[in-house]
Structure 1
Amino acid sequence: MKKLLFISAILFCSFTSLHAQGELRFGASAGVNFSGVNGDDTKNTDGRTGFRVGAVVDIGITEKFSVQPVVAISIQGWKDRGLDIKANYVVVEAKADYEVVDGLSLQAGPLVGFNIHASVDQDDITNFESTNIGGLVAAQYEFPFELFVNVQYDMGFSDLIPNFDARNRNLSISLGKFF
Structure 2
Amino acid sequence: MRKFILLAAVFSIFTLTSQAQGLDFGVKAGVNFANITDASGLSNRTGFVAGVFLGGKLNDNLGLQGELLYSQQGAEFELGEFNLDYVNVPILVKYYVAQGLNIQAGPQFGVLVNDDTQTVIGEVINDIATNDFDVSGVVGAGYDFPFGIRVSGRYNFGLNDVPETGSGKNSVVTLAIGYSFL
The two structures share one fold, judged by TM-score above 0.5: yes
Q: Secondary structure at the match of 1:23?
A: strand
Alignment of 1:76-95 (within 5 A): 76-95=73-92
Once residues 80 and 160 of structure 2 are traced to their aligned partners in structure 1, the CA distance between those partners, rounded to angstroms, is 20
Q: Secondary structure at the match of 1:127?
A: coil
Could you tell me which residue of structure 1 aligns to residue 65 of structure 2? 68
Q: Secondary structure at the match of 1:45?
A: coil
Alignment of 1:1-179 (within 5 A): 15=18, 18=20, 23-39=22-38, 42-122=39-119, 123-179=125-181
Tell me, yes or no, if the aligned pair for 2:150 and 2:177 is still in contact at 8 Å: yes
Write out per-residue CA displacement over residues 78-117 of structure 1, whole angstroms, 9 at most, x where no aligned residue.
1234221100000011000011011110000000110000
Once residues 109 and 93 of structure 2 are traced to their aligned partners in structure 1, the CA distance between those partners, rounded to angstroms, is 15
Write out per-residue CA displacement over residues 121-177 of structure 1, whole angstroms, 9 at most, x where no aligned residue.
234434210001110001001112120111011000111111121100000100001
Identity %: 26
Could you tell me which residue of structure 1 aligns to residue 5 of structure 2? none
Q: Which runs of 5+ in 1 are unaligned?
A: 1-7
- Structure 1 residue runs of 4+, over 6 Å off? none
Amino acid at match of 1:43: S
Once the two structures are TM-superposed, the CA of residue 76 in structure 1 deviates from its matched residue by 1.1
Q: Which runs of 5+ in 2 are unaligned?
A: 1-10, 120-124
Given the two structures, how large is their TM-score scaled by the length of structure 2? 0.83
RMSD: 1.9
Once residues 91 and 162 of structure 2 are traced to their aligned partners in structure 1, the CA distance between those partners, rounded to angstroms, is 21
Once residues 162 and 121 of structure 1 are traced to their aligned partners in structure 2, the CA distance between those partners, rounded to angstroms, is 14
